[in-house]
Structure 1
């Protein structure tokens, strides 16, 4: 365990140093959610049945959940880049724990995600959003968000190691933007057609978004009648989705890293 932590810490440091030398990417990841908040909050909010202020209370937690889900794209791109540029092969030749590299990569992603959420929260506060349930509820919400981000980063890492090229990983990762759209991140699912509502409510992002709204005490924290189990029990559903993803993809990504490309 000590070897795993020390080796993973070394990879984490390397990833953070790499991110520091790519400030453009950091700026993009921090400004994109803020841009979406301003656009959705003031443009879409004026066209919905929800009053603008109520929609922003609904939207901020949804955007935080979508940011957490973007661990899928970030993990995929990072793993594919290192794998196809020979970095992963060099790591594999070193006397280090096989799970240390994907662990360090996903842990570094978790650190940068925590930082990137700060501007979104500050702009949300400036727009009138509030965490109505106080500090304990807010800490619980951010805990769920970071756990889910950690889980999706492992999924992305596995898919990135499977990819045939950096370009293929980038294209597949870019396609994941549709996942928050098929959830309750931006809009309530109650008005969707039956089959689409079912698909949206079984989307893990919906459980996370609803759980975060409930813990923050915001609009949309209560599930509509007849909602699927993960949304009807959002905190338990969000935790269960995260644990299931970790249980499946931590060993899968570790095995794939040990095998190499091909």
Structure 2
């Protein structure tokens, strides 16, 4: 009688496993062009509506409205762009995709990291296209190329933080429609911010809410990075405060969301 030893498959390291999951996400996105078109179209449409429909009716202090509005549009645009991560995560749970990944010899964290990485590439592409359209319709940066690059970097950091929020929502609900519903709560949050109108024009109670929520802080930081002190008209703090506070908000949201997502994933 011959005994044959069974050799367990070698464990795939975290970077390789993450890249494999991210590749799956990208392939699914590329094979579904309407997802790409709608992501770009939504962001560009918001930009054009506020540039040409509402722009003439909103006072923006010393800044031209297009220069006031674009940092806000780009900031909320990246958040809208990653909203679909929650429903996609819930769908993977419902279809058993996550269970299949768990059965493979790979770190479990790679499932979440790969999902996030794949989403970030689509978000970066949408951000660059929207920024190009913004420059085409008159947006200008007083702080030059470094200011524009810093704004784009802060937008991407915002996208990373909120991606993990939506991953946690998808894991918590495990239902596509519920995850979509929670995602749309970002819409009122974006309007109760300085994205489209100066905060000081809001009623007192609403102004206090708007001033202290993360999107307003990030948007004001992006205005300062692109327009310098002129972008801070009517605000309560300095440009350095807003930049430091924006990074702190993003880091705090990211740490809490990652911890929540990992805890929820272990329970599934």
TM normalised by structure 1 equals 0.91
Match of 1:244 among 218, 229, 252: 252
Runs (4 or more) in structure 1 with deviation over 6 Å come to none
The alignment of Structure 1 onto Structure 2 pairs a total of residues equal to: 257
Task: Give the CA RMSD over aligned residues.
Answer: 2.2
Deviation at 1:165, TM superposition (A): 1.5
| Among candidates 36, 44, 49, match of residue 59 of structure 2 | 49
Question: Does structure 2 conserve the Cα–Cα contact (< 8 Å) formed by 1:77 and 1:160?
Answer: yes
Kindly state the Cα deviation for residue 174 of structure 1 after the two structures are TM-superposed.
2.5
Q: Check 1:218–1:116 CA distance in 2 against 1; reply closer, same or farther (3 A cut).
A: farther
Could you tell me how far 1:124 is from its partner in structure 2?
0.9
Taking the TM superposition and a 5 Å limit, the aligned residue runs for 1:50-199 are 50=60, 54-70=64-80, 73-199=83-209
Q: Secondary structure at the match of 2:234?
A: coil
1:204 and 2:224 are equivalent in the alignment: no
CA apart distance, 1:219: 8.4
Greater Rg by CA:
2
* Structure 2 gaps, min length 5: 1-11
Deviation at 1:256, TM superposition (A): 1.4
Task: Measure, in 2, the Cα distance between the counterparts of 1:247 and 1:124.
Answer: 32
Work out the CA distance in 2 between the residues paired with 1:71 and 1:243. 19
Partner of 1:253: 261
Aligned equivalent of 1:233: 241
2: CA distance, partners of 1:58 / 1:218 = 12
Query: Do the aligned residues in 2 keep the contact of 1:54 with 1:219 (CA within 8 Å)?
Result: no
**Preserved CA contact (<8 Å) 1:8 1:104:** yes
- Residue 69 of structure 1 deviates from its aligned partner by 2.1
Q: TM-score, normalised by structure 2?
A: 0.89
Residue segments in structure 1 that go unaligned for 5+ positions in a row = none
Distance (Å, rounded) in 1 between the aligned partners of 2:205 and 2:178: 30
Structure 1 residues 9 and 110: alpha-carbon distance in aligned structure 2, compared to 1, 3 A threshold: same
Report the alpha carbon displacement of residue 16 of structure 1 after superposing the two structures with TM. Answer: 0.5
CA positional deviation for 1:223: 5.7
